[in-house]
């Protein structure tokens, strides 16, 4: 996905930006030619390189550099630079990636930008399909603001199918770029794929490394339905998230936009609530204020807001109790008041669902707390999966 080269700085060029936090052009000579650029002068192939000085430092004539030449190797015009990664070392460079289709750039214009084949771009075998596709055929789309909800949602879908005597639904994960950009960072995704719990991962936006790559959440969802053949899609950011202790300064606010995307494509948005009975911060106790903002203020389309109706055995677990159940129900009800468009759905949750969560092949952990520490967090995500499985059975043509 990256074409690496080493080279030597011949001269410094223009600079712009704020001093050390700006960018500098460098004239460089590569140690090896690029594909399709085999003709070079006596001293080698000269290319313009760009250094983001706050990230990789500033360089002068004679300095040896490690360069990302992916865009130049594919002849992309925008920017037209090799990107400086840092000083060149003595370790041999990886071989060039195989020549082939694909000019979709992820982590764009950064030193480690990666070239991939987008499922929705012209060189893709699926381009014609996605150029025509405009509908999810009623596919349920579970939206969550944390990556840690993913295995619990999938566990819920499989548990519901088991109770109904049906095969497990085909679940696709649409990974957005609010957290980690490389899908490979997620051990959860790797484990769920290895065990057959996920049919495919589609990385969208700046995220990369999924089974399929897509430009937007919209084409990612369409690919999940029409290329993967998923019965259910789960949309959530990658591992990690960015929060600032403010209402709007949180990467998971994009969950509301994912609801809008699913509805625009005539899917069935299902809002998975971020719930906790153990978080020491009151703003995250019960339903997190992030869920209330994403679904209450950002989502303009209707979603099924799913809350657990716990059996007494669950309300006796650590961090849970009747008070938490009431708080969650009341907070969720505020999302479906007279001025809101959402629908409140209560799903029974008993010891059998908890057992299904314990059987997850992927480790359940959120904010450092596991299933035994904060069971409400995972049960709340799992009931969204249970409801999505029921919707999948009701979708046109069933499954």
Identify the pLDDT of residue 48: 94
How does DSSP assign 254-281, residue by residue? HHHHHHHHHHHTT-EEEEE--EESS-SS
Give the span between the Cα atoms of 96 and 86, in whole angstroms. 19
The distance of Cα 89 from the centroid of its chain, to the nearest Å, equals: 33
Identify the pLDDT of residue 277: 86
Following CA atoms 295, 296, 302, 307 in sequence, which dihedral angle do they give, to the nearest 10 degrees? Answer: 60
Band (pLDDT 50/70/90 cuts) for residue 19 is low
What kind of fold does domain 4-116 have according to CATH? Answer: OB fold (Dihydrolipoamide Acetyltransferase, E2P) (2.40.50)
Buried residues in 75-100 as b, exposed as e (16+ CB within 10 A): eeeeeebbbbbeebeeeebeebbeee
pLDDT over threshold 90, residue 28: yes
Residues 202-213: what's their mean pLDDT? 96
For residues 341 and 301, the answer to whether their CB atoms sit within 8 Å is yes
For residues 302 and 342, the answer to whether their CB atoms sit within 8 Å is yes
Q: What is the DSSP secondary structure assignment for residue 174, as one 8-state letter?
A: E
Which among 290, 276, 288 has a CA at the least distance from the CA of 375?
Answer: 276
pLDDT over threshold 70, residue 47: yes
| pLDDT tens figures, 154-184 | 999 999 999 999 999 999 999 999 999 999 9
Give the span between the Cα atoms of 262 and 204, in whole angstroms. 14
Percent of the chain surpassing pLDDT 90: 73
Identify the pLDDT of residue 20: 59
Residues whose CB is less than 8 angstroms from the CB of residue 283 and which lie 6 or more positions away in sequence, other chains included: 289
Identify the pLDDT of residue 188: 96
Domain range annotation of the chain: 4-116, 130-394
What kind of fold does domain 130-394 have according to CATH? Answer: Rossmann fold (3.40.50)
Q: What is the DSSP secondary structure assignment for residue 372, as one 8-state letter?
A: T
Identify the pLDDT of residue 43: 67
Residues 317-340: what's their mean pLDDT? 86
For residues 300 and 294, the answer to whether their CB atoms sit within 8 Å is no
| 9-to-45, 58, 64, 109, 112 alpha-carbon distances in Å | 12, 11, 6, 20, 19
Identify the pLDDT of residue 211: 96
Identify the pLDDT of residue 339: 64
Which of the pair, 346 or 277, is modelled with greater confidence? Answer: 346
Give the span between the Cα atoms of 22 and 152, in whole angstroms. 43
Q: How would you classify the pairing of strands 200-203 and 171-176?
A: parallel
Give the span between the Cα atoms of 206 and 216, in whole angstroms. 9
Residues whose CB is less than 8 angstroms from the CB of residue 323 and which lie 6 or more positions away in sequence, other chains included: none
Paired with 265 in beta bridges are: none
Ramachandran category for residue 397: left, alpha or beta (phi over 0 → left; psi -120 to 50 → alpha): left
Residue with tokens 């290895």: 194
pLDDT over threshold 90, residue 204: yes
Give the span between the Cα atoms of 204 and 303, in whole angstroms. 22
Q: How would you classify the pairing of strands 23-30 and 4-16?
A: antiparallel
Q: How many CB atoms lie within 10 A of CB 59?
A: 20
Q: What is the DSSP secondary structure assignment for residue 44, as one 8-state letter?
A: B
Identify the pLDDT of residue 144: 97
| pLDDT tens figures, 88-110 | 998 888 888 887 788 889 999 89
| pLDDT tens figures, 129-163 | 999 999 999 999 999 999 999 999 999 999 999 99
Percent of the chain surpassing pLDDT 70: 94
3-state percent breakdown (helix, strand, coil) of the chain, nearest 5: 30, 25, 45
């Amino acid at each position: 996905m990256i074409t690496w080269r080493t080279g030597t700085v011949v001269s410094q060029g223009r600079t712009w930006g704020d001093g050390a936090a700006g960018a500098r052009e460098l004239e460089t000579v590569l140690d090896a030619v690029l594909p399709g650029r085999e003709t070079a002068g006596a001293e080698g192939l000269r290319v313009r390189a760009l250094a983001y000085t706050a990230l990789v430092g500033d360089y002068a004539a004679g300095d040896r550099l490690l360069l990302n030449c992916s865009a130049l190797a594919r002849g992309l015009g925008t920017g037209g630079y090799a990107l400086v990664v840092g000083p060149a070392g003595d370790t041999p460079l990886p071989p060039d990636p195989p020549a082939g289709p694909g000019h979709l750039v992820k982590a764009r214009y950064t030193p480690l930008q990666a070239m991939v084949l987008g499922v929705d771009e012209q060189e893709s075998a699926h381009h014609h399909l996605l150029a025509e596709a405009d509908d999810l055929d009623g596919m349920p789309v579970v939206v969550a603001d944390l990556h840690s909800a993913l295995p619990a949602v999938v566990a819920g879908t499989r548990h519901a199918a088991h109770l109904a005597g049906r095969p497990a639904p085909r679940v696709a994960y649409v990974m957005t770029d609010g957290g980690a950009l490389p899908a490979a960072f997620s051990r959860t995704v790797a484990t769920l794929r290895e065990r057959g719990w996920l049919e495919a991962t589609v990385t969208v936006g700046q995220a990369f490394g999924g089974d399929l790559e897509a430009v937007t959440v919209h084409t990612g969802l369409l690919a999940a339905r029409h290329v993967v053949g998923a019965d259910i899609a789960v949309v959530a950011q990658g591992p990690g998230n960015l929060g600032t202790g403010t209402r709007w300064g949180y990467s998971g606010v994009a969950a509301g936009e994912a609801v809008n995307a699913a509805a625009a494509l005539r899917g069935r948005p299902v809002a998975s609530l971020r719930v906790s009975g153990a978080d020491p911060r009151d703003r995250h106790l019960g339903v997190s204020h992030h869920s209330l903002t994403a679904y209450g203020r950002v989502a303009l389309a209707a979603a099924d807001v799913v809350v657990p109706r716990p059996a007494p055995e669950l309300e006796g677990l650590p961090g849970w109790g009747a008070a938490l159940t009431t708080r969650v129900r009341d907070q969720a009800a505020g999302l479906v008041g007279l001025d809101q468009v959402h629908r409140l759905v209560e799903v029974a949750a008993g010891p059998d669902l908890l057992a299904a969560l314990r059987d997850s092949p992927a480790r359940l952990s959120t904010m450092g707390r596991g299933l035994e520490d904060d069971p409400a967090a995972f049960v709340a995500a799992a009931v969204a999966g249970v409801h999505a499985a029921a919707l999948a059975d009701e979708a046109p043509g069933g499954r």
